Copies of this chain bind each other. A is one copy, B any other.
Amino acid sequence: MSKVMTGATMSLDGYIAGPGESGFDLLFRWYNNGDVETRNINPDLTWHTTRASADVLREMMSNVGALVVGRHLYDLTNAWGGRHPLDVPTVVLTHRPPTDRPLADENFVFVTDGIEAAVEQARELAGDKWVALNGGTIARQGLDAGLVDEVHVELTPFVLGAGTPLFGALATAPVELTGPYSIVEGNEVVHLRYRVVRGPERP
């Protein structure tokens, strides 16, 4: 069965965005502060990282088979111009499915009946590959529903002081992880990989 992971690039003090959607210039600096080029399907988004971070990106790109995102990100990115840069089908969890496109095609599948259904749909699309849940609201819902196997944090050396937390107020907190089972150092980022511990109450 495919692995379900979530994570995000995070400030040292736990935020995936600063106040008013600020801080991305700092948080995402590691995507463009190295010599090694990693391409994706969006030519405007080619990454230049250290060799270590490039290996992390390539591992993600070769292993992720489907994504689950929220409607906010889908709208904010204008549907990534038609398909997600990772070149995988993307499940959009939303209360208001779009009226100007099919509910499912090879690029996007719109799910309205909750995180379990969205992850189930993504699992089918991913086959043996990983399902990746977007950080923030979707990650929180997935963790609360006991659906997440791993948390991947790209930890950056910046203190934002306030903003959008990695998960926000979990209903099931505290959640125990184990690890990190992997620590990779890039330039202005440390890639940390954790597994979620599933207690008897988290089947």
Contacts and interface: CB of A to CB of B under 8 A. Distances in A.
Interface of A: 10-15, 18, 22-23, 26, 143, 151, 153, 155, 157-162, 165-170, 173-180, 183, 185, 188, 190, 192, 194
A170 B158 CA distance: 12
Closest 8 CB pairs of A and B: A14-B14, A161-B173, A161-B170, A157-B177, A159-B175, A13-B166, A13-B14, A162-B169
- The number of times this chain is found in the oligomer is 2
B183 A158 contact: no
A175 B161 contact: yes
Contact of A174 (B158, B167, B173): B158
Given A14-B15, A155-B155, 16 more contacts: A10-B14, A11-B14, A11-B174, A12-B151, A12-B194, A14-B165, A14-B166, A26-B174, A157-B180, A158-B174, A158-B177, A159-B166, A159-B174, A160-B173, A160-B174, A161-B168
B159 A167 contact: yes
Interface centre among A153, A157, A179, A185 (most CB of B within 10 A): A157
A15 B13 CA distance: 8
8 contacts: A11-B174, A12-B153, A23-B174, A155-B155, A158-B177, A161-B173, A161-B174, A162-B170
Given A18-B173, A174-B18, A185-B183, A13 B165 contact: yes
B162 A178 contact: no
